[in-house]
Amino acid sequence: MNGRIHVVQGDITKLQVDAIVNAANESLLGGGGVDGAIHRAAGPELLEACRALHGCPTGSAKITSGFRLPARWVIHAVGPVYRGGQQGEPALLRSCYETALQIAKENGVRSIAFPTISTGAYGYPKAEACKIAVDAVSTWLAKNDLPHEVTFCCFGDEDRRTYEQKLQQ
Protein backbone atom coordinates (compact mmCIF):
# COMPACT_ATOMS: atom_id res chain seq x y z
CA MET A 1 0.00 0.00 0.00
CA ASN A 2 2.67 2.49 -1.06
CA GLY A 3 4.34 2.59 2.33
CA ARG A 4 1.13 3.26 4.27
CA ILE A 5 1.20 -0.07 6.16
CA HIS A 6 4.05 -1.00 8.49
CA VAL A 7 4.81 -3.87 10.83
CA VAL A 8 6.78 -3.46 14.04
CA GLN A 9 7.52 -5.69 16.97
CA GLY A 10 7.30 -4.04 20.36
CA ASP A 11 5.17 -2.36 22.98
CA ILE A 12 2.17 -0.56 21.49
CA THR A 13 1.97 1.74 24.52
CA LYS A 14 5.31 3.32 23.54
CA LEU A 15 4.55 4.08 19.89
CA GLN A 16 4.61 7.67 18.66
CA VAL A 17 1.36 7.61 16.68
CA ASP A 18 -1.84 9.67 16.83
CA ALA A 19 -3.93 6.70 18.01
CA ILE A 20 -3.42 3.20 19.27
CA VAL A 21 -6.08 0.53 19.14
CA ASN A 22 -6.86 -1.41 22.28
CA ALA A 23 -7.92 -5.06 21.95
CA ALA A 24 -10.68 -4.47 24.49
CA ASN A 25 -13.43 -6.56 26.03
CA GLU A 26 -17.10 -5.51 25.93
CA SER A 27 -16.94 -3.83 29.35
CA LEU A 28 -14.03 -1.59 28.25
CA LEU A 29 -12.89 -1.71 31.89
CA GLY A 30 -9.50 -3.32 31.31
CA GLY A 31 -8.33 -6.89 31.29
CA GLY A 32 -5.23 -8.88 30.50
CA GLY A 33 -2.76 -8.75 27.64
CA VAL A 34 -2.60 -5.59 25.56
CA ASP A 35 -5.78 -4.27 27.19
CA GLY A 36 -4.24 -4.37 30.66
CA ALA A 37 -0.96 -2.91 29.39
CA ILE A 38 -2.74 0.03 27.78
CA HIS A 39 -4.81 0.72 30.90
CA ARG A 40 -1.68 0.62 33.10
CA ALA A 41 0.31 2.90 30.80
CA ALA A 42 -2.52 5.41 30.28
CA GLY A 43 -3.24 5.73 33.99
CA PRO A 44 -6.47 5.65 36.02
CA GLU A 45 -8.06 8.39 33.91
CA LEU A 46 -8.51 5.88 31.10
CA LEU A 47 -10.63 3.62 33.29
CA GLU A 48 -12.84 6.57 34.24
CA ALA A 49 -13.25 7.58 30.60
CA CYS A 50 -14.13 3.99 29.67
CA ARG A 51 -16.74 3.77 32.43
CA ALA A 52 -18.50 6.75 30.86
CA LEU A 53 -18.75 4.85 27.53
CA HIS A 54 -20.94 2.10 29.09
CA GLY A 55 -19.29 -0.74 27.20
CA CYS A 56 -19.04 -1.60 23.54
CA PRO A 57 -20.49 -4.48 21.51
CA THR A 58 -18.28 -7.09 19.86
CA GLY A 59 -17.26 -6.01 16.38
CA SER A 60 -17.41 -2.31 17.22
CA ALA A 61 -15.14 0.34 18.70
CA LYS A 62 -15.18 3.54 20.78
CA ILE A 63 -12.61 6.29 21.36
CA THR A 64 -11.09 7.95 24.42
CA SER A 65 -8.17 10.21 25.09
CA GLY A 66 -4.77 8.55 25.45
CA PHE A 67 -4.10 10.32 28.77
CA ARG A 68 -0.53 9.37 29.82
CA LEU A 69 0.28 7.52 26.58
CA PRO A 70 2.36 9.06 23.78
CA ALA A 71 -0.71 8.51 21.55
CA ARG A 72 -3.36 11.21 21.72
CA TRP A 73 -6.20 8.71 21.34
CA VAL A 74 -7.07 5.13 22.27
CA ILE A 75 -9.62 3.40 20.07
CA HIS A 76 -11.09 0.46 21.98
CA ALA A 77 -12.03 -2.31 19.52
CA VAL A 78 -13.85 -5.38 20.78
CA GLY A 79 -12.89 -8.50 18.88
CA PRO A 80 -14.76 -11.79 18.94
CA VAL A 81 -13.97 -14.83 21.04
CA TYR A 82 -13.07 -17.58 18.56
CA ARG A 83 -15.54 -20.46 18.65
CA GLY A 84 -14.48 -22.39 15.57
CA GLY A 85 -15.08 -19.68 12.98
CA GLN A 86 -18.70 -20.54 12.23
CA GLN A 87 -20.31 -18.09 14.69
CA GLY A 88 -19.72 -14.93 12.64
CA GLU A 89 -16.22 -14.39 14.01
CA PRO A 90 -14.59 -13.37 10.69
CA ALA A 91 -17.18 -10.62 10.05
CA LEU A 92 -16.96 -9.40 13.64
CA LEU A 93 -13.17 -9.25 13.54
CA ARG A 94 -13.20 -7.39 10.22
CA SER A 95 -15.76 -4.98 11.65
CA CYS A 96 -13.40 -4.17 14.55
CA TYR A 97 -10.77 -2.94 12.12
CA GLU A 98 -13.23 -1.09 9.88
CA THR A 99 -14.97 0.62 12.80
CA ALA A 100 -11.66 1.64 14.36
CA LEU A 101 -10.50 3.09 11.03
CA GLN A 102 -13.79 4.98 10.58
CA ILE A 103 -13.47 6.46 14.09
CA ALA A 104 -9.86 7.38 13.31
CA LYS A 105 -10.92 9.13 10.11
CA GLU A 106 -13.71 11.03 11.89
CA ASN A 107 -11.18 12.29 14.45
CA GLY A 108 -8.51 13.32 11.95
CA VAL A 109 -6.08 10.58 12.97
CA ARG A 110 -3.14 10.50 10.60
CA SER A 111 -1.28 7.53 12.12
CA ILE A 112 -2.71 4.54 13.96
CA ALA A 113 -1.32 1.32 15.42
CA PHE A 114 -3.22 -1.94 15.81
CA PRO A 115 -2.33 -4.89 18.03
CA THR A 116 -3.23 -8.42 16.95
CA ILE A 117 -6.91 -8.31 17.96
CA SER A 118 -8.54 -11.49 19.36
CA THR A 119 -5.44 -13.69 19.02
CA GLY A 120 -4.56 -13.86 22.72
CA ALA A 121 -7.05 -15.00 25.33
CA TYR A 122 -9.86 -14.87 22.73
CA GLY A 123 -8.16 -17.71 20.82
CA TYR A 124 -8.46 -16.52 17.23
CA PRO A 125 -5.97 -18.44 15.05
CA LYS A 126 -3.14 -16.00 14.32
CA ALA A 127 -2.81 -16.63 10.58
CA GLU A 128 -6.57 -16.27 10.01
CA ALA A 129 -6.74 -13.12 12.14
CA CYS A 130 -3.76 -11.66 10.27
CA LYS A 131 -5.40 -12.30 6.90
CA ILE A 132 -8.60 -10.54 8.01
CA ALA A 133 -6.69 -7.62 9.53
CA VAL A 134 -4.46 -7.01 6.52
CA ASP A 135 -7.36 -7.36 4.07
CA ALA A 136 -9.61 -5.01 6.07
CA VAL A 137 -6.91 -2.36 6.44
CA SER A 138 -5.73 -2.63 2.81
CA THR A 139 -9.29 -2.33 1.50
CA TRP A 140 -9.93 0.68 3.76
CA LEU A 141 -6.74 2.47 2.73
CA ALA A 142 -7.51 1.96 -0.96
CA LYS A 143 -10.72 3.98 -0.50
CA ASN A 144 -9.78 6.52 2.19
CA ASP A 145 -7.12 9.19 2.72
CA LEU A 146 -7.13 8.91 6.52
CA PRO A 147 -5.39 7.54 8.35
CA HIS A 148 -2.27 8.11 6.25
CA GLU A 149 -0.29 5.43 8.04
CA VAL A 150 -1.24 2.14 9.73
CA THR A 151 1.13 0.12 11.88
CA PHE A 152 0.54 -3.45 12.96
CA CYS A 153 2.33 -3.67 16.31
CA CYS A 154 3.16 -7.27 17.12
CA PHE A 155 4.25 -8.32 20.57
CA GLY A 156 6.11 -11.44 19.47
CA ASP A 157 8.46 -12.43 16.69
CA GLU A 158 6.09 -15.07 15.28
CA ASP A 159 3.28 -12.53 14.89
CA ARG A 160 5.62 -10.01 13.26
CA ARG A 161 6.78 -12.59 10.71
CA THR A 162 3.19 -13.61 9.97
CA TYR A 163 2.20 -9.99 9.24
CA GLU A 164 5.31 -9.30 7.16
CA GLN A 165 4.69 -12.42 5.06
CA LYS A 166 1.04 -11.53 4.53
CA LEU A 167 1.91 -8.00 3.42
CA GLN A 168 4.47 -9.33 0.93
CA GLN A 169 1.83 -11.45 -0.81
Question: Cα separations (Å) of 21 from 55, 110, 157?
Answer: 16, 13, 20
Q: Is the pTM of this model over 0.85?
A: yes
What's 69's domain CATH number? 3.40.220.10
What residues make up the domain containing 159? 5-168
Element (H, E) at 160: helix 157-168
Catalytic one among 11, 18, 35, 145?
35
Looking only at the bridges linking them, the beta strands covering 5-9 and 73-78 are: unpaired
Residues 165, 167: Cα–Cα separation, whole Å: 5
pLDDT of residue 2: 62
Element (H, E) at 76: strand 73-78
159 a catalytic residue:
no
Number of domains in the chain: 1
User: Tens digit of pLDDT for each residue in 36-72?
Assistant: 999 999 999 999 999 999 999 999 999 999 999 999 9
